[in-house]
Amino acid sequence: MSVFTPPKRTLMGPGPSDVPERILEAMSQPTIGHFDPAFQGLMDDIKGLLKYAFRTENALTFPLSAPGSAGMECCFVNLLEPGDKAVVCRNGVFGGRMIENVERCGAIAVVVESDWGEPVDPGLLEETLKDHPDAKLVAFVQAETSTGVSSDAKTLCRIAREHDCLTVVDAVTSLGGTPLEVDKWGIDAVYSGSQKCLSCPPGLSPVSFSERALDAIRNRKTKVQSWFLDLSLVMDYWDGAGGRTYHHTAPVNAMYGLHESLCILKEEGLEEAWARHRTMHEKLRDGLEDMGLELLVKPDYRLPQLNTVKIPDHVTDEAALRKRLLEEFNLEIGAGLGALAGKVWRLGLMGHSARQENVELCLGALRRVLN
Amino acid sequence: MSVFTPPKRTLMGPGPSDVPERILEAMSQPTIGHFDPAFQGLMDDIKGLLKYAFRTENALTFPLSAPGSAGMECCFVNLLEPGDKAVVCRNGVFGGRMIENVERCGAIAVVVESDWGEPVDPGLLEETLKDHPDAKLVAFVQAETSTGVSSDAKTLCRIAREHDCLTVVDAVTSLGGTPLEVDKWGIDAVYSGSQKCLSCPPGLSPVSFSERALDAIRNRKTKVQSWFLDLSLVMDYWDGAGGRTYHHTAPVNAMYGLHESLCILKEEGLEEAWARHRTMHEKLRDGLEDMGLELLVKPDYRLPQLNTVKIPDHVTDEAALRKRLLEEFNLEIGAGLGALAGKVWRLGLMGHSARQENVELCLGALRRVLN
């Protein structure tokens, strides 16, 4: 077997995003044991930095040792018990995945449907909660990666609270890219991914849980159906107070990388990172519109970090165009997903990918292949 | 925040083991997309190399994007449905974890108990299966990391087959270190970890499933309770035939590392790797016995890669000794787990850690701190 040497790509799809050299170097440092005192220190630092990124004081804030889809599952299996009712807002692929998760917990999913490309409708959520006063939680995706739509997390959380529901928020694509205020908005459970606006390789899912969420977990009548994701066990592994308890073995080197990425985020400043994503989005948007391309999502609720572009009518084989971008320009952009497959491209400007040179490369390459 | 610089340790605990420079370098290569054709090629290569390591032709052989404990859970949630009966053999911590997993699937665990430090008793398994002709599967740990005991996987699988049961085998510590014959022994589901005898950083769980296991999954009456671990979805992500379907985002850089580690294993040769583990174990054992130290496990079923040493009576604070080994010699050894806490040390000789210089360092350092 020969050593695998990956091509050098520019990553402007829906994730992973470009990983800075600093993070790759951090990840290649020697592996240490997961009970090494030095690793304990790293875990504490990561927890502190994640609190900064999530804007929370939640004690239970840490990266789960698995990708974002496990982070989603972790929220539902811990907060739901068989027979519970959950209101799930669906306006794209990931809301649909939430419904799957709810049902696999033996719980009942009440679905608030919005069109793909539209945000979750707060009025519809309110009506649904009036019809279902026994709902235990409300779940929605803040930044729908499948459509490029931002939903109004602050308002949705307020409505959920008014109806005494816990909230589960998918922040996979928002964390580090657009405003997310876990404490101010009263979010109870939130999960993200390492490979989007944090610019790490994929594999980790930062999560955070409020005291209200922990109360719900403490008051469970049944065991969490997943041993691996059972927070009552995982928190004893991540909590340094009184000694950590063995649960699983954390992905040590991936943690080095996440730590470095969070240091980079703090050096830049969270609000400065949000502003950079917005600025780069505006440059990309202007260039796309100059070329006569149209964005799927209305300006009011467009995600700066995930730009969904309608594929022009004259393009008969969009996959061939993406292949040319990859082969001739080493540029990866994203295909449409689900109902939008073949209809849109998804141009990611996430984390380290939200840079002037990426915007120029993307616009230049698109100009070439569309002519 | 300052950059985290881990100390340079020699890892001789129960895992992670020492990670060769080649693997760390492979992991620090640029991240590419998980639908990049180059990544598809890498996935295919990894599947082929894992088949070599597991000694199997099973089509469904791949690394799960999460640690070994998720690999364990994956086996149980896919093979068991509520009300099913599973015979679980327990002779250490990880058999106990299996019972937890079975019960969280709503299934019934019938436990075959053996003493800690002893292998699973095939006679007792046979009796139990006679008493429970409705059992669907038999689960056991081939290499108990908590005690250093090797159970006779070949015989246990034969007995399970004779009673028409599926087998789930924990090979977390055995894969790449001691003989494991998935096809010859008729194992139906097996999981391992990247951080033991494969010498990768932790985070991935190689798994393999037989056609019989797949039939059982195809004939399920209920959905798998975990969306993240549902093999009917995961296999469409890993299977290149007819195009892959998006499920989660694979940990791209961790896969680079696993690929490199499997290349190293193939270069050395699987049987040569087994022989090396045995030779290094003999050297370590001889040295320990020369110092008057005693191994917990009888020679017949000792794991070469995980040596459980009884802590001498005169040692009153064993944790302080391990601390000295770490601080003065940068040497990590493992503490006892569960019933063996405070009574034994666990000396790992796994993968790249199974080297002459590690044996010498360990013996020399132990000599210093015990005098």
pLDDT confidence of residue A338: 87
Residue B95 phi/psi, 5-degree rounding, is -65, -40
Neighboring chain A residues of B245 at a CB cutoff of 8 Å: none
Q: Do both B45 and B174 map to the same domain?
A: yes
Neighboring chain A residues of B201 at a CB cutoff of 8 Å: 31, 251-254
A324 touches B: beta carbon within 8 Å: no
Whether B336 is covered by a domain: the verdict is yes
Q: Which of B235, B266, B297 is the last residue in one of the domains?
A: B266
Q: Are strands B85-90 and B137-141 parallel, antiparallel or unpaired?
A: parallel
pLDDT confidence of residue A239: 81
CB within 8 Å of B314: residues ≥ 6 apart: none
Q: Do both B275 and B156 map to the same domain?
A: no
CB A191 within 8 A of CB A206: yes
Q: Which of B266, B292, B324 is the last residue in one of the domains?
A: B266
Which stretches does DSSP call E strand in A122-210? Answer: 137-141, 143-144, 149-150, 166-170, 189-191, 205-209
Q: Do both A252 and A284 map to the same domain?
A: no
Q: Do both B329 and B185 map to the same domain?
A: no
**Positive or negative: CA dihedral B254, B80, B219, B50:** positive
Q: What is the DSSP letter of A142?
A: S
Nearest to B86 by CA among B94, B183, B95, A346: B95
Q: Which residue has the tokens 């492979």?
A: B26
Q: What is the DSSP letter of B301?
A: G
Q: What is the CA radius of gyration of chain B?
A: 21
Nearest to A70 by CA among B77, B249, B98, B256: B249
pLDDT confidence of residue B243: 79
Amino acid of residue B338: G
Those of residues 35-74 in B touching chain A at CB distance below 8 A are 36-39, 42, 45, 49, 65-70, 73
Mean confidence (pLDDT) of chain B: 97
Q: Do both B260 and B278 map to the same domain?
A: no
Cis amide linkage into residue A16, ω under 30° from 0: yes
Those of residues 236-255 in A touching chain B at CB distance below 8 A are 246-254
Q: Identify the H or E element spanning B310.
A: strand B306-310
Q: Are strands B166-170 and B149-150 parallel, antiparallel or unpaired?
A: unpaired
Under an 8 A CB cutoff, do B65 and A68 touch?
Answer: no
Helix ranges, A136-251 (H): 153-162, 211-218, 231-238
Instruction: Provide mean pLDDT across the span A25-35.
Output: 97
Neighboring chain B residues of A27 at a CB cutoff of 8 Å: 27-28, 253
Q: Are strands B60-64 and B344-348 parallel, antiparallel or unpaired?
A: unpaired
Cis amide linkage into residue B16, ω under 30° from 0: yes
Burial class (CB in 10 A: 0-12, 13-18, 19+), B316: exposed
Under an 8 A CB cutoff, do B73 and A226 touch?
Answer: yes
CATH number at residue B179: 3.40.640.10
Under an 8 A CB cutoff, do B9 and A30 touch?
Answer: yes
User: What's the CA angle centered on B247, arms A285 and B245, to 5 degrees?
Assistant: 85
Q: What is the DSSP letter of B302?
A: B
Q: What is the separation of C-alpha A319 from the centre of its chain, rounded to a whole number of angstroms?
A: 25
Instruction: Please determine, for residue A227, whether its predicted confidence score (pLDDT) is greater than 80.
Output: yes
Under an 8 A CB cutoff, do B28 and A31 touch?
Answer: no
CATH number at residue B278: 3.90.1150.10
Q: Do both A206 and A76 map to the same domain?
A: yes
Look up the domain containing B289 and give its range. Answer: 10-15+270-370
Those of residues 121-160 in A touching chain B at CB distance below 8 A are none
Those of residues 161-190 in A touching chain B at CB distance below 8 A are none
Instruction: Please determine, for residue A2, whether its predicted confidence score (pLDDT) is greater than 80.
Output: no
Q: Do both B175 and B316 map to the same domain?
A: no
Amino acid of residue B150: S
Under an 8 A CB cutoff, do A251 and B34 touch?
Answer: no
Whether A4 is covered by a domain: the verdict is no
Nearest-by-Cβ selection for A104 from B8, B202, B223: B223
Nearest to A44 by CA among A306, A273, A238, A227: A238
pLDDT tens digits, one per residue of A244-289: 899 999 999 999 999 999 999 999 999 999 999 999 999 999 999 9
User: What dihedral do alpha carbons A267, A268, A272, A273 form, nearest 10°?
Assistant: -110
Judged by DSSP in three states, A248 sits in: coil
Q: Which residue has the tokens 């600025």?
A: A279
Under an 8 A CB cutoff, do A6 and B103 touch?
Answer: no
Under an 8 A CB cutoff, do A24 and B19 touch?
Answer: no
Whether A5 is covered by a domain: the verdict is no
Whether B3 is covered by a domain: the verdict is no
Distance CA A190, CA A175 (A): 10
Nearest to A76 by CA among A148, A160, A167: A167
pLDDT confidence of residue B239: 81
CB B288 within 8 A of CB B363: yes
Whether A41 is covered by a domain: the verdict is yes
Whether A105 is covered by a domain: the verdict is yes
Q: What is the DSSP letter of A307?
A: E
Neighboring chain A residues of B16 at a CB cutoff of 8 Å: 31-34, 249, 252
Distance CA A331, CA A190 (A): 31
Residue of B nearest to A332 (CA): B33
Whether A33 is covered by a domain: the verdict is yes
Q: Do both A250 and A275 map to the same domain?
A: no
Lowest mean pLDDT among A1-15, A300-314, A318-332, B201-215: A1-15
Judged by DSSP in three states, A201 sits in: coil
Q: Do both B247 and B128 map to the same domain?
A: yes
Q: Which of A209, A243, A266 is the last residue in one of the domains?
A: A266
Nearest to B156 by CA among B178, B180, B187, B130: B187
Q: Do both A203 and A350 map to the same domain?
A: no
Q: Do both B260 and B285 map to the same domain?
A: no
Q: What is the DSSP letter of B339?
A: G
**Distance in Å from the first CA to the final CA of chain B:** 41
Judged by DSSP in three states, B26 sits in: helix
Nearest to B84 by CA among B219, B285, B256: B219
Neighboring chain A residues of B195 at a CB cutoff of 8 Å: 31, 249
Residue A64 phi/psi, 5-degree rounding, is -70, 145
Q: Do both B220 and B248 map to the same domain?
A: yes
Nearest-by-Cβ selection for A3 from B7, B224, B260: B260
pLDDT confidence of residue A258: 98
Tell me: is residue A346 an annotated ligand-binding position. yes
A336 touches B: beta carbon within 8 Å: no
Under an 8 A CB cutoff, do B249 and A15 touch?
Answer: yes
What is the pLDDT tens value at each position of chain B, 371 positions in all?
Answer: 668 999 999 999 999 999 999 999 999 999 999 999 999 999 999 999 999 999 999 999 999 999 999 999 999 999 999 999 999 999 999 999 999 999 999 999 999 999 999 999 999 999 999 999 999 999 999 999 999 999 999 999 999 999 999 999 999 999 999 999 999 999 999 999 999 999 999 999 999 999 999 999 999 999 999 999 999 999 999 986 667 899 999 999 999 999 999 999 999 999 999 999 999 999 999 999 999 999 999 999 999 999 999 999 999 999 999 999 999 999 999 999 988 999 999 999 999 999 999 999 999 999 999 98
Quote the minimal CA–CA distance from A253 to chain B in Å: 6
pLDDT tens digits, one per residue of A180-210: 999 999 999 999 999 999 999 999 999 999 9
Residue of A nearest to B42 (CA): A4
pLDDT confidence of residue B240: 62
Count of domains observed in chain B? 2
Distance CA A84, CA A137 (A): 9
Distance CA A312, CA A317 (A): 11
CB A353 within 8 A of CB A199: yes
Whether A3 is covered by a domain: the verdict is no
Neighboring chain B residues of A249 at a CB cutoff of 8 Å: 15-16, 67-69, 193, 195, 202
Quote the minimal CA–CA distance from A123 to chain B in Å: 30
Nearest to B150 by CA among B117, B123, B128, B122: B117
Judged by DSSP in three states, B295 sits in: strand
Distance CA B365, CA A13 (A): 51
CB within 8 Å of B219: residues ≥ 6 apart: none
ipTM of the complex: 0.97
> Helix, strand, coil proportions of chain B in percent (round to 5)?
45, 15, 40
Which residues make beta-bridge pairs with B201?
none
Those of residues 71-110 in B touching chain A at CB distance below 8 A are 73, 97, 100-101, 103-105
pLDDT confidence of residue A164: 98
